Structure 1
Amino acid sequence: MKDVVHIPVMRTEVLSLLIGQNNSSGLVIDATLGAGGHSEALLEKYPDIRIVGIDADEGMLGLAKKRLKKYGNRIDFVHGWFDDVLTELSTQCSVSAILMDLGVSVFHYQSSGRGFSMFKDEPLDMRLFPGHGITAEEILMTKTEEELVSIFSDFGEVRFAKTIAKSIIKHRRNNNIRTAKELADIVFNSVPSRFRHGRIHPATQVFQSLRIAVNNELSRLDRALSLSMSLLHDYGRCAVISFHSLEDRIVKRFFKQNSNKDNDMYFNIITKKPLVPTEDEIKNNPPSRSAKLRVAELVLCKDGVKHENV
């Protein structure tokens, strides 16, 4: 696998907010490890923590293992979907903090060969867990027009979703839609000419919606957030970095719905409004420009029951 330079998004903010004053030791879960940038920063700053790093892509785990080798047994690497792994862990231990960085890595766009970038002539795969589940091509070739419209609208808030879906159905009658560039061209030619040369390519949100559908991303986020309440111990923190409004709304709603102080356990919301990257970070790391960070701290009442921290 080709090494790709990975710069962790909002590194400074994660370092200052993820670990609370009462939890500077113990176990931390990096639920979306990627190339290991955030874990590296946390292990360096907090010498008394251990980390469980989770990723669905074994290739990314390989990059992270190389990067974090010097930390030895302070980090364990787990291959799998983060919501599945969190389910298993929730019956075994409690943790000081959980970090979820929901962004797709630079590697996937630049070097994976799986069709994440609309500008590359690559197979339309888009699976973050290679070899598991349905591909983007299979969705495009098998779903009805109504189902495609729903995917584009619900997961990408795509303008002209119906027009684009009609064009895809028409195209596939005689030709498979095999590559990312083929799909981008179909979308480009589907939308009215005056919308083809805007600030972003007209296929951007179509690609987003397909990736979310292929990897079941929003449902996984919902499940992982719910599991955080059974994993975190008293004053443990959950931090989520999202990259589009659909994800951010889910995180905002979850923290708010679980912030009632009359409950046996509740989230104290640390970031009343989401934090966003500084101008300097955006300049030095353009993919960070759409990031939003929300952090909340779990508080237990006196008779709340939790597992012993390990």
Structure 2
Amino acid sequence: MNVGDHASGPGHVPVMLDRVLELLGPALQVTGRAPIYLDGTLGMGGHAEAMLDAHPGLRLVGLDRDTVALERAGRRLARFGDRVTLEHAVYHELPSVLDRLGVPAVDAVLFDLGVSSPQLDEADRGFAYAQDAPLDMRMDRTQTLTAAEVVNGYPPAEIARILREYGEERFAQRIAAAIVRERVDEPFTSTRRLADLVRSSIPAATRRTGGNPAKRTFQALRIEVNGELDSWRRALPAALAALPVGGRIAVLSYHSLEDRITKLALAAQTADTTPPDLPVPLPEHQPRFRLLTRGAELASDEETTTNPRAGSVRMRAAERVREAT
């Protein structure tokens, strides 16, 4: 979730920055040309800025679907001049972006998934259940679908599915039924009204633990509005395909659904697929990647103390060791 990866100031620091630099740095030690770093979730450019400072010859290709984030990142990174190319795009569009830029491969890739700090902190974006705001939740304000349209227009079974699958909400059916019942009299337009409805739909005993009961519902709606999981399922294989031998990727996930997609995709690329009945491994079935992290790495206690939004991060990283056949 690009949480903390943004503008200067207290509490706005890139998540797991030192570890990202450590893991991706070796892939950028190329000779004879400028190494290329793809930041698929640019946010305010915190990771990108550190990477450009650490590698003076580096060229950045930065993607973000949020035009406000791109504008702010552009100001932050302006001092790097033509080393920086910023594109308004969703990360699954990276193949077409690279093709248009004439970039056949990238040496290192970072994805810092989910919602960004400014999106959470700016009430009018409608991401935060703790502030009253229009029920929006669009990362890209040029798109048409909003959270209000989902809540007021989707059939009850579809709302329940979204809450159950994307929010892992135990009371999805009850919340969906309450939404449909209430929207008949008055459509939902504000985050506060929706958050209050979710709270009242959940048993009192459950409300007393686990933080704000609206958290899972808001997460689920945000994922639906922005097509996050479908986009991520397409983006990760595309990013892996863009890496040459020695190229590296790091992924920061903030909930189990994103991390599960990442884990399975990397596991498939790091497995030996030689049929088990053969006596020796076949070269063409050897792993294409090797894992750089053992399982999912967490932020340190020190970092989560100074940057609480790093508390849910899970990092996975890998390096290409063999070209695809």
String of CA shifts for 1:19-59, please: whole Å, max 9, x gaps. 32574551110000000000011111111211101111111
| Structure-1 separation of matches of 2:242 and 2:226 | 24
Q: Name structure 1 gaps, 5 residues minimum.
A: 306-310
For the pair 1:50 / 2:59, whether they are aligned, the reply is yes
> Post-superposition shift, 1:197?
2.5
SS in 1 for 2:108: strand
Task: Give the stretch that moved more between structures: 67-76 or 35-44.
Answer: 67-76
Question: Contact 2:92–2:231 (CA<8 Å) still a contact in 1?
Answer: yes
Structure number with the higher strand fraction is 1
Which residue of structure 1 lines up, in the alignment, with residue 98 of structure 2? 89
Which residue of structure 2 lines up, in the alignment, with residue 133 of structure 1? 144
| Structure-2 separation of matches of 1:112 and 1:57 | 15
Which residue of structure 1 lines up, in the alignment, with residue 317 of structure 2? 295
| Structure-1 separation of matches of 2:69 and 2:84 | 15
SS in 1 for 2:247: strand
Which residue of structure 1 lines up, in the alignment, with residue 17 of structure 2? 11
Q: TM-score, normalised by structure 1?
A: 0.92
Identity fraction in percent: 36
Q: 1:274 aligns with which of 289, 292, 296?
A: 296
SS in 1 for 2:124: coil
For the pair 1:38 / 2:53, whether they are aligned, the reply is no
For the pair 1:158 / 2:169, whether they are aligned, the reply is yes
| Structure-1 separation of matches of 2:266 and 2:51 | 23
Structure-2 change in CA distance of 1:88 and 1:104 (3 Å): same
Q: Name structure 2 gaps, 5 residues minimum.
A: 1-6, 273-283
Q: TM-score, normalised by structure 2?
A: 0.88
String of CA shifts for 1:217-254, please: whole Å, max 9, x gaps. 01111111110232111110111000000000100000
| Structure-2 separation of matches of 1:106 and 1:95 | 27
Structure-2 change in CA distance of 1:63 and 1:112 (3 Å): farther
Structure-2 change in CA distance of 1:22 and 1:299 (3 Å): farther
Question: Contact 1:30–1:99 (CA<8 Å) still a contact in 2?
Answer: yes
Structure-2 change in CA distance of 1:223 and 1:268 (3 Å): same
- State the AA in 1 paired with 2:297: L
Q: For residues 164-243 of structure 1, what are the structure 2 equivalents within 5 Å? A: 164-243=175-254
Question: Contact 1:115–1:125 (CA<8 Å) still a contact in 2?
Answer: yes
Question: Contact 1:4–1:107 (CA<8 Å) still a contact in 2?
Answer: no
| Structure-2 separation of matches of 1:194 and 1:118 | 20
Task: Give the stretch that moved more between structures: 242-251 or 223-232.
Answer: 223-232
Structure-2 change in CA distance of 1:4 and 1:212 (3 Å): farther
Which residue of structure 2 lines up, in the alignment, with residue 78 of structure 1? 87
> Post-superposition shift, 1:300?
2.0
